[in-house]
Amino acid sequence: MITSDLLKKAAAGERLTPAEGLQVYTEADPEAVMAIAHELRLQRTTPGLVTYLIDRNINYTNACTTDCQFCSFYRVPGHPEVYVLDKQQIGAKVEELLAWGGTRILMQGGHNPALRIEWYEDMLSWLKATYPEIDLDCFSPSEIENIAHLETMTMEEVLARLHSAGLDGLPGGGAEILDDEVRGRISPKKTKTAQWIHAMRIAQRLGMTTSATMVIGFDETMEQRISSLTHLRNLQDESLSSHGNGFTAFIMWTAQLSETNSLGRSRHRHKYGAGYDEYVHTNAFARIYLDNFTNFQASWPTQGLDTARRTLFAGSNDFGSTMLEENVVSQAAAYTQQEQRMTVHRLHEQIRMAGSIPAQRDSRYRIVRSFDHVMTPAELAPVPIPTRLDGLQERAAQFIPVAGL
Ligand code: SF4
């Protein structure tokens, strides 16, 4: 089929095969791809609304044994800068989030061999008991695989135990490009494609919230990007048809290179990374190709606000989250390093600049509140809450200590 006919097929909302997708991605005018993606977004989500989440990342440990070449965040066990956050520290972060009206924490960390499954269960059950109104979307398939490896368990067993302890969702971090040739080059010790997909399959069967991600700019081929998206699309088909609980959203960004990671220092650095136009184009293509996904998130922390707003006209219907704290991509010179924090008022401003109405959502993309009229900074400012950490020190004896860092 000629490319213009494939664009008509895409505009009609029909599924493209991988070969057809490749043709549209590589041969069609990016402006035409973006226009179709925008139309599909308007058809599949509420036109005029752009959603966002009030949440925060909590990076509970930076110790990691996996040595991904694009990572500036981790420290090897034994390094003087290794840390593990305790309940007091994590609780203080959650309380700050509650003051902002937040509904979710995204807790992620390195593959720390000193943390056993009981540490995770203890932390989750304490968080769930202390802050029941907060969704706990934590870890990623590679962290689950790491715990399974340490405990000589299956990922099914690990996820079932963590879910019982309070885990609500498994975020889609660590997908990068779901192609084992790429993964073998940039993160040879990390979860392979089949295991990443399998962890998500299990989490979805357990009824957990999950998201799908892709990171471009690892010198992957266009075919490998299509293949990565096809893996996501296939699992989404499988989950939606068998139990109805698929990925809530698709989020992509570009590899973040700097002198603080191996890829950024590589003599082949020129081969890595991707520009803003390529990001917007790829996001638009993904909206077309992933015809069984509803929500697409713009990534302002990695692309900056101007590009994120452009993405709202290239398939995205969601502006991500306030991300009161982020320590992973920001270590590699991403936008958050300069921006530090995104307030709710600032998020509203960005969404209104794109001509849309801001709507706060939860982690399942259910609308919490939409804002028909412009809110002042004071109306969107945090409202401190009474602490629930009193007595934590006295109760510390019952908590599981971390040894061997
Ligand atoms: S990306 Fe994650 S798994 Fe890889 S080195 Fe960094 S912390 Fe470890």
Rg (the chain; Cα; Å):
21
- For residue 70, pLDDT over 70 is answered with yes
Ligand 1 neighbour 255 (Cβ under 6 A): no
| Secondary structure class of 284 (helix, strand, coil) | helix
Tell me the pLDDT tens digit for each residue of 3-53: 999 999 999 999 999 999 999 999 999 999 999 999 999 999 999 999 999
Phi, psi angle pair for 329, to nearest 5°: -70, -30
Please report the atom of ligand 1 found closest to the CA of residue 64.
Answer: 8
Q: Say if ligand 1 is within 6 A of residue 41 CB.
A: no
CA of 181 to the centre of ligand 1 (A): 18
Say whether pLDDT at 295 is over 50. Answer: yes
Q: What is the mean pLDDT of residues 190-198?
A: 98
Q: Ligand 1 pocket test: which of 142, 143, 149, 218 has the largest number of ligand atoms within 8 Å of its C-beta?
A: 142
**Residue range 318-341: average pLDDT?**
64
Which pLDDT value is given to residue 332? Answer: 56
**Once rounded to an integer, what is the mean pLDDT over residues 155-166?**
98
pLDDT at 342: 79
305-310's contacts with Cβ under 8 Å and 24+ in sequence apart are 305/335, 305/350, 307/276, 307/279, 307/280, 308/350, 309/350, 309/353, 309/354, 310/276, 310/280
Residue 231: predicted pLDDT: 98
pLDDT at 404 over 80: no
Tens digit of each residue's pLDDT (9 = 90 or more) over 258-284: 877 888 888 888 888 899 999 999 999
Instruction: List the structure tokens of 79.
Output: 């390094």
pLDDT at 45: 97
Residue 337 predicted with pLDDT over 90: no
pLDDT of 403: 47
Range of lowest pLDDT (82-96, 166-180, 276-290, 315-329) = 315-329
The tokens describing 353, both together, are 């600049």
Percent of the chain with pLDDT over 90: 82
User: Does residue 328 surpass a pLDDT of 80?
Assistant: no
Fold for domain 20-367? TIM Barrel (3.20.20)
